[in-house]
């Protein structure tokens, strides 16, 4: 009984402390240590639980999957700073400018492309708000429609891979699924990888983009005064439209295919694909500089592609007893290609450093990465002490006794996560809530871990958009022009929240939307 009281008090105290704005990592770790001391003093907890903490930290630091986080963050920051988004928005706006609602359509297309390359929601919303919102207002778009479109497009990074949300969610769900399988007596448990979750999120993400575009088309058809076409003088793509379009879109599309294609095709792990994406983003940034930098970047990219092709054709492993002449030649060619890639990458980094971008990129990447891992360490200590106080058993009993069985339990967890999304960042929710509730949910019959992960991701995205506390709305409010009021943003986002809720319902009714592609790819 005392354990139950302390477990509930610990969770409530941590939530209250987070609402004060105290740094999340220290709030979680400090709360855990205080209740650990209380548990030891009252005999409600065993000291052995805290002895496992160093091993948990070591496990985090040696987790290959989590290495993908700083690499994906680096890729997003580099693309943001190299003004890829600005060029994409301008080109797509000119491409669709002749039709009513064309500028809105371009916002969703660019939002989907940026989501598939950056994966950092806050940065995407701010970038889209600065680059897309003023042109939409200048060309006569409704303030509410423009604000809602930008906010919805910017938040696509929550669900479209490679999303940081999906990386951390996949890692936490994989651990929870193994724990659930062991608790059920399966001592050879299957695993759920980040790649599985990426594959599961592709169809729901594309479905969201399609429904957003469909809504924009319907508004342009029914209320043409809300989203007029661009004037003829602003639709031109220059003397060579195809070349302009390819220059703006091709690098981003190639990067998406290289990263997502290698993961979904089973060619590379998420971490390896993230490394490819980071290198590719740096080369794209160098290519945007033009002149000699662009030439070197393209030659480096060609050498990089040739290296990838060579690794698929020739066994390049070193240290073997028998090496054929063909393999020896392949190793020599691969070594030369590696030297070319390294030289080209150094040249690109030097060019970014000369322009003062490299310092900003490195600082922003370090800040975001350090924040994520600090929260993860604090959340690990919190969940460890919470388990020591019997909190996991308490949660499992509460979910098992819910009316409606597994469906009722999932619905309760989704409602709690939705409400927490008003006040907490997605990292805090994933690192604190998922390790506590996911093992209990995944022990119930009929709950697929990939479906559960995609549902959680879409649910958090919906929460981030929902007035009055959705964080995305505050990101946009910070960069929106003065004439766009908070009321305009709230009114504009309502239809897109309704679309998000409709997708959640579809996922609930048709789980194959999330599970069919992973099963087709990985069996």
347-397: pLDDT as tens digits: 888 888 888 888 888 888 888 888 888 888 888 888 788 877 777 777 777
Its pTM stands at 0.82
Neighbours of 486 (CB within 10 A): 15
Which DSSP symbol is given to 423?
Answer: T
Which tops the pLDDT comparison, 509 or 419? Answer: 509
| Matching residue, tokens 């939307």 | 513
Give the model confidence (pLDDT) of 234-255 as tens digits: 666 666 667 777 777 777 777 8
Neighbours of 110 (CB within 10 A): 30
Average pLDDT, the chain: 80
Q: Is 1 helix (H, G, I), strand (E, B) or coil?
A: coil
Q: Are 271 and 171 in contact (CB under 8 A)?
A: no
Helical spans, DSSP H, in 21-101: 24-42, 48-51, 53-61, 68-81, 84-96
Q: Are 149 and 216 in contact (CB under 8 A)?
A: yes
Q: How much is the pLDDT for 191? A: 76
Q: How much is the pLDDT for 271? A: 82
Cα–Cα dist 115/472, whole Å: 14
Residue 36 has pLDDT above 70, yes or no: yes
* Omega prior to 351 cis, within 30 of 0: no
Q: Per the structure block, which two tokens stand in for 187?
A: 């001592």
Residue 408 has pLDDT above 80, yes or no: yes
For the chain, which residues make up each domain, given as ranges? 83-236+390-522
452 to each of 200, 255, 263, how far by Cα in Å?
10, 28, 20
Q: What is the mean pLDDT of residues 320-331?
A: 74
Burial of 339 (0-12, 13-18, 19+ CB in 10 A): exposed
Residue 341 has pLDDT above 80, yes or no: yes
Residue 324 has pLDDT above 90, yes or no: no
Q: How much is the pLDDT for 508? A: 92
Q: Which of 279-293, 301-315, 320-334, 451-465 has the highest mean pLDDT?
A: 451-465
Residues in the chain: 523
CA atoms within 13 A on the CB side of 93: 25
Q: Are 53 and 384 in contact (CB under 8 A)?
A: yes
Among 66-70, 228-232, 352-356, 456-460, where is mean pLDDT lowest? 228-232
Residue 503 has pLDDT above 90, yes or no: yes
Sign of the C-alpha dihedral computed for residues 89, 91, 97 and 101 taken in this order: negative
Residue 286 has pLDDT above 70, yes or no: yes
pLDDT band at 187 (very low <50, low <70, confident <90, very high): low
Q: How much is the pLDDT for 319? A: 65
- Return the exposure string of 80-105: e unless at least 16 CB atoms fall within 10 Å of the residue's CB, then b: bbbebbbbbbbbbbbbbbeebbbbbb
Q: Are 481 and 134 in contact (CB under 8 A)?
A: yes
Q: Are 258 and 277 in contact (CB under 8 A)?
A: yes
Residue 442 has pLDDT above 70, yes or no: yes
Cα–Cα dist 461/108, whole Å: 16
Cα–Cα dist 8/1, whole Å: 11
Q: Who contacts 317 (Cβ-Cβ below 8 Å, separation ≥6)?
A: none
| Phi, psi at 162, each rounded to 5° | -90, 95
* Omega prior to 468 cis, within 30 of 0: yes
Residue 499 has pLDDT above 90, yes or no: yes
CA-based nearest residue to 430, from 66, 5, 127, 38: 66
């Amino acid at each position: 009984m005392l354990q139950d009281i302390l477990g509930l008090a610990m969770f409530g105290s941590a939530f209250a402390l987070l609402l004060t704005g105290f740094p999340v990592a220290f709030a979680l770790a400090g709360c855990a240590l205080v209740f650990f001391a209380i548990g030891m003093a009252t005999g409600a907890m065993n000291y052995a639980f805290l002895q496992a903490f160093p091993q948990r930290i070591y496990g985090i630091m040696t987790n290959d999957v989590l290495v993908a986080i700083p690499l994906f963050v680096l890729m997003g920051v580099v693309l943001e700073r190299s003004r890829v988004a600005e060029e994409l928005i301008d080109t797509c706006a000119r491409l669709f400018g002749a039709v009513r609602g064309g500028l809105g359509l371009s916002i969703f297309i660019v939002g989907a492309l940026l989501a598939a390359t950056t994966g950092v929601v806050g940065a995407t919303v701010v970038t889209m708000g600065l680059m897309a919102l003023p042109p939409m207002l200048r060309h006569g778009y409704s303030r509410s429609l423009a604000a809602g479109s930008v906010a919805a497009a910017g938040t696509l990074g929550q669900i479209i891979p490679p999303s940081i949300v999906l990386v951390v969610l996949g890692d936490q769900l994989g651990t929870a699924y193994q724990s659930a399988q062991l608790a059920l007596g399966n001592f050879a448990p299957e695993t759920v990888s980040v790649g599985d979750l990426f594959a599961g999120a592709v169809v729901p993400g594309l479905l969201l983009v399609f429904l957003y575009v469909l809504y924009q088309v319907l508004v342009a058809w029914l209320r043409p005064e809300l989203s007029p076409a661009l004037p003829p003088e602003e639709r031109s793509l220059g003397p060579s439209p195809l070349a302009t379009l390819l220059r703006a879109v091709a690098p981003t599309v190639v990067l998406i295919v290289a990263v997502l294609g290698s993961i979904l095709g089973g060619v590379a792990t998420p971490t390896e694909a993230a490394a490819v994406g980071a290198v590719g983003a740096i080369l794209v940034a160098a290519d945007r500089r033009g002149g000699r930098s662009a030439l070197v970047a393209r030659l480096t990219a060609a050498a990089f592609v040739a290296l990838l092709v060579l690794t698929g054709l020739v066994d390049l492993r070193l240290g073997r007893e028998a090496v054929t002449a063909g393999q020896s030649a392949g190793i020599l060619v691969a070594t030369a290609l590696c030297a070319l890639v390294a030289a080209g990458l150094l040249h690109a980094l030097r060019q970014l450093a000369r322009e003062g971008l490299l310092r900003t990129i490195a600082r922003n990447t370090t800040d975001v990465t350090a924040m994520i891992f600090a929260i993860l360490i604090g959340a690990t200590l919190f969940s460890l002490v919470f388990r020591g106080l019997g909190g996991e058993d308490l949660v499992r009993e509460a979910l098992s006794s819910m009316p409606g069985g597994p469906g009722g339990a999932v619905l309760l967890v989704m409602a709690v996560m939705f409400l927490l999304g008003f006040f907490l960042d997605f990292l805090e929710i994933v690192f604190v809530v998922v390790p506590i509730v996911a093992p209990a949910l995944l022990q119930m019959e009929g709950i697929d871990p990939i479906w559960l992960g995609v549902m959680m991701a879409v649910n958090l995205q919906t929460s981030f958009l929902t007035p009055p506390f959705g964080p995305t709305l505050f990101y946009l409010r910070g960069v929106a022009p003065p004439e766009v009021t908070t009321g305009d943003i709230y009114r504009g986002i309502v239809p897109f929240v309704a679309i998000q809720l409709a997708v959640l319902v579809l996922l609930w009714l048709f789980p194959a939307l999330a599970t069919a592609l992973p099963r087709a790819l990985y069996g």
